[in-house]
Amino acid sequence: MKRKPYISLSLVLLLGAGGVLSGCSSKEAASAAGEQVITVGTQNDYPPFAFADENNELTGYDVEVVKAVDEKLDGYTFEFTAVPWDSMFLALESNKIQAIADQVAKTPERQGKYLFTDESYFAAETVIAVKGGREDIQTIKDLEGKKIGALAGDSYTLLLEEYNKKAAKPIDLKYSESGNPSEILQDVQNGRIDAYVNDPIMIDAVLKKNDLDVEIVGQPLVNDDMGIVLKKGEQGEELKALIDPVLEELKQDGTLAELSKKWTGGEYIPE
């Protein structure tokens, strides 16, 4: 059962060009019920965290975490809209969405530009994936001079871009035009690029779905905590104050752990 919200929140609500893919109530129904709609942007091709199911509805771990937050709050409805990764932060800045739940790591650069929830809802690793049987790549240094798939602006690419500032031989980053991790992993299998750096859970999900001859090698490069992203300013601060206590409750009552096990097979919840 929902409870009363922690604070009052007034939002200007605009949807992006893409249609809403969600199991939540429609915007019209929420408005008729006197609820305020908070539009959450996420990808539709990033399993098991955020993806479109067979009914073309957004689902996955990140989506269900936000739905669990929604269940705790009266007066608010969270709706989801599919946004390409390369447009995600622009949609937030232009207020087409009011939040991002899309496995966004809390990097110093991002925290300087955007507002994150204090409570993190997932702890992720960063690993290297190569064509099955390849043995010459095990560490980030082994990527120097090689062609590596990349998505502009994601935390994994930012890690490699930062490494290139000091590398003896820069990593040759090949930015994806489609923004689809599945296509990048297919390029790894087909030899068009040498490797891909991303989260192991997403990689495993894509490999199983597409039966790709790609494997994860070496040790994790870094560990990151994921938070819900908001726009800096009064709206964002109010929304942060609304969500943070609920995320803490979901962590303490075991809801986040249950959702993590459901979607990833393990409990990847920050301390």
pLDDT in tens, 200-250: 999 999 999 999 999 999 999 999 999 999 999 998 999 999 999 999 999
Q: How far apart are the C-alpha atoms of 14 and 195, rounded to whole Å?
A: 38
- Per-residue pLDDT at 128: 98
Q: In what order do the strands lie in the sheet with 45-46?
A: 45-46, 50-52, 58-59
pLDDT digits (tens, 9 = 90+) for 66-89: 999 999 988 889 999 999 999 999
Would the CA dihedral through 54, 263, 2, 227 be positive or negative?
negative
- Per-residue pLDDT at 178: 84
pLDDT digits (tens, 9 = 90+) for 176-209: 988 889 999 999 999 999 999 999 999 999 999 9
CA nearest neighbour of 197 among 161, 227, 233, 170: 161
Would the CA dihedral through 147, 89, 223, 211 be positive or negative?
negative
Q: How far apart are the C-alpha atoms of 32 and 122, rounded to whole Å?
A: 34
pTM value surpassing 0.85? no
Sorting pLDDT into bands at 50, 70 and 90, what band is 25?
A: very low
- Per-residue pLDDT at 26: 53
Rounded to 5 degrees, what angle do the CA atoms 95, 107, 227 make? 60
